[in-house]
Each structure stands twice: as C-alpha cells, then as structure tokens.
Amino acid sequence: MSEQLDFSAFPDARGHFGIYGGRFVSETLMAALDDLEKLYMRLKDDPEFRADFDNDLAHYVGRPSPLYHAERWSQKLGGAQIFFKREDLNHTGAHKVNNTIGQALLAKHIGKRRVIAETGAGQHGVATATVAARLGLECQVYMGAEDVERQKLNVYRMKLLGAEVIPVTSGSRTLKDAMNEAMRDWVTNVDDTFYIIGTVAGPHPYPLLVRDFQSVIGREARQQCIDMTGRLPDALVACVGGGSNAIGLFHPMLDDEGVSMYGVEAGGDGVETGRHSAPLNAGRPGVLHGNRTYLMESDDGQIIETHSVSAGLDYPGVGPEHSWLKDMGRVNYVAVNDDQALAAFREVTKVEGIMPALETAHALAYAATLAQEMPRDKTLIVNMSGRGDKDILTVAAMDGIKF
C-alpha cells in the first residue's frame, strides 16, 4: 500500500468500513444498539473495565495462550517454520471465549439478566453458556437443527452448563437461521436481554467490539513471535466463517506492512460446484443480519444455502471488516475444500499430537500449501482457533465408526 492507513480509525462513527458494515436492523433494535454503542465507547478505554477483562482472560481463560513451533510438521513440509497460536488451549477450547468474557462484562454493566446467542459449531454457544453460568445469567442458545445433530457433544455441554439450546428448523437449519431466530428473540425481549453475537458480523457496534475483544490474539502473537524469532512473522493464516478468530489475529498487525495475511474460507465440495461457504471468494456485497458485506446470494438477492463439513464456517456472510480488507487487497482470501480440511485434521493430529477443530483444519490445510512455497527461514503463524474434540463423532462417522 502506498500510504499508511490508520486501521484503528475504522469503523467510522456510523459503523462503516468503507461501504461495508453499518446498522441495518428494524427500528425496534435501534435504541438498544445505540445504548450498547455508548456503553462500549465509555468502557473500552476505562482502566477498571480493561483490568476486569484482562483479569478474567488471565485467570479464567488461561491467557496468554502459547505460540507453539510445530517443528515436526514444518520439517516434514520442508518450507517456512509454522507456529500455532494455541487458542485451542483456552478454557472451553476455542477463541470464542475471549469475546463472550468481554460481552458478558458489558451485559453485567448494563444490568441485563438474560443472554442469548446463536451458534454454529456450538463453540460460541458453549463459551456463552460458560460465562452465563459464572455470572448467574439466564442463557438461551439458538442452533440450527442440522448443527444440533452434527454437534451433539457441544449441545450436551451447553445443557450441563445450564443453558437451554433451542433447535431452529426454519430455512437451511444452520448458523444463518440460528442468527435470524436470535434476532427475533432479541427484538421481542430487548428490555431484559443482551444478545452476545459470536462473530465480527451483525449491526454496529458488534463488529467493532468483537474485534477489539478478539484482538488479544494478535497482540500476544505479535510479541511472542518477536520474543521467539527476533522478528515479526512473514505470514498469518486463519479460517474465516464470520471471521472473528481471523480478525483477532490480523488486526493488531494490519499496520505491519511486511506481514502477509490469508483468510481461509470453506470451499465445501469446491467453489466451482456452488456447494460451499465462501462469500469472499464467490459472493457479492449485500445486506444481511444488520450489515453490508459479501454474501452468498442468488441474482435476485435471496440468500442461498451454504455447504461445509464444518458447522462453524457454514454461513453465507462474513464480517464487514473482512469485505473491506478484501477490496483493498490487504488480506488475501482463499478457499479450502472439505476433503483438504479433513486431510489436514488427520495430518496435524498425527504429526503434532494436536487435534484441531474442523474449522481450524481449513487454515491448516492452506498453511501447508503456503509454507511449502516459502523458504525455511520464513515464519508463518496459523491461528489454532479451536480444538477438535467436538468433531470426533463427525470424523468417526466418515470412517464408518459408530459410538
């Protein structure tokens, strides 16, 4: 880029990243979003709020998460040195909890007794149920009926944590439909309910505040990389569904021009087949779930069904900041198919003894390709955004094993 853009100045005051983002919701929610924005703007630099957040991240989540040099896998691939940012080691097993801790603190400040969430793979649902249990808040989680089936373990975890999981049977019965239902719940119960959105999408200020809460990933990784290798990483790789783990890793290094970045979408059966979840690769801008962003839609503007082996990436939209970063060329967005992701899941589990979530496996599959194109003295960080325990039944079923 010819001139340095101040990435921290976005979104603008109205929640826009260029033409993306914004606040496209029905009138009933406008006041609640205004209140949330004012609250967040007041608290985000408040020393006491920051201290509470950092304290919870340290003592409840277990931060900082390690940066791990995957030496054996790097050697086997024969290219760049691959490091994993171990978000899978967080309490509840994924990066999602960084955000739910932050939003639960906001809910507490604003005095709401009930929280709701949407979830795809169930990781955000579990992370929300967890913080709700800890704060004694009532918690209901909307989850597509298809995802309830393929993520049974997480459904049971949420129940054990005291949350009610509501299967959503409308539309495609996946993450987008869960988000529709959560919005409908919020519009009905807006007085006493805080909606904990799980990704960097939705109406302003959600893309902003989720990014800020997740940016702890990139801040830590940047410093850890300098401490371990003496310099910044050469490349960052993260999977992108809504895109919260990717923004969390990328955002603190957007100003570091030498760091190239790759967001990996779910290619499903292959982008060319149309059966995928890769709006940045094969969609176009539109408006859904409160923001303008790249979407998978028909010529007539109807949202079309998505496909991915990973429930957490099975979403037709993406956070608006990613759309903006794509258009300006700061981040490269690529796609990895189901079978490539499954191969990476098996490979990393065997070679490094770390079982990634199927979502994360998309990033790992691309990282393997990228590393092989880079010299051995270069450094590549993959966001190990979640652990794969929740996916064991899915993979076992593919191996013909039933429990």
Partner 1 sequence: MSRIKSCFERLAQDNRKALIPYVTAGDPSLEVTAAILDAMVDAGADVIELGVPFSDPMADGPVIQQACERSLASGTTLKKILALVADFRTRNSDTPIVLMGYLNPVEAMGYEAFAEGCSQSGVDGVLLVDMPPEETDGIKEYFTSRDIDLVFLIAPTTTEARMDAIAEAGSGYLYYVSLKGVTGSASLNVDEVASRVETIRNHTGLPIGVGFGIKDAESARAVSCVADGVVVGSALVNRIAENADAPGRIPETVAEVLRDMRAAMDRD
Q: Using CB under 8 A, list all residues that contact partner 1.
A: 14, 22-32, 34, 170-171, 176-177, 180, 183-184, 187-191, 285-290, 292, 295, 297-304
**How crowded is the C-beta side of 147, counted as CA atoms within 13 Å?**
38
d(CA 360, CA 353): 15
CB of 165 to partner 1, least distance (A): 19
Question: 14 vs 402, which CB is nearer to partner 1?
Answer: 14
Helix, strand, or coil (residue 189): coil
166 in Cβ contact with 181 (< 8 Å): yes
Q: How far is the CB of 187 from partner 1 (least distance, A)?
A: 6
CA pair distance 101, 115, nearest whole angstrom: 12
Cα 99 to Cα 151: distance, rounded to the nearest angstrom: 21
Q: How far is the CB of 128 from partner 1 (least distance, A)?
A: 20
* Cβ closest to partner 1, residue 88 vs residue 185: 185
3-state secondary structure (DSSP) of residue 6: coil
Least distance to partner 1 from the beta carbon of 284, Å? Answer: 8
Alpha helices, H only, 251-385: 279-282, 320-328, 338-352, 358-372
Decide if 350 is catalytic.
no
Which CB sits closer to partner 1, 144 or 356? 144
Between 125 and 202, name the residue whose CB sits nearer to partner 1: 202
Catalytic residue flag (residue 71): no
Which of 37, 65, 85, 118 is the catalytic position?
118
Q: How far is the CB of 35 from partner 1 (least distance, A)?
A: 10
Q: Which is nearer to partner 1, 149 or 192 (CB)?
A: 192
Yes or no: say if 211 and 8 are a contact pair by the CB < 8 Å rule.
Answer: no
Cβ-Cβ contacts under 8 Å for 356 (sequence gap 6 or more)? 88, 344, 345, 348, 349, 364, 384, 386, 387, 388
Q: What is the dihedral of CA 172, 178, 181, 182, to 10 degrees?
A: -160
Q: Return the number of the residue (48 or 299) whose C-beta is nearest partner 1.
A: 299
- How far apart CA 193 and CA 185 sit, in angstroms, is 9
Pairing between strand 67-69 and 20-24?
A: unpaired
Q: Which of 352, 359, 385, 390 is catalytic?
A: 385
Candidate list 96, 176, 326, 390, residue with the active-site label:
96
Judge whether 96 counts as a catalytic residue: yes
Pairing of strands 275-277, 260-270: antiparallel
For residue 146 the two structure tokens come to 């298809």
Report in angstroms how near the CB of residue 376 gets to partner 1 at its nearest: 47
Which are the catalytic amino acids?
96, 118, 385
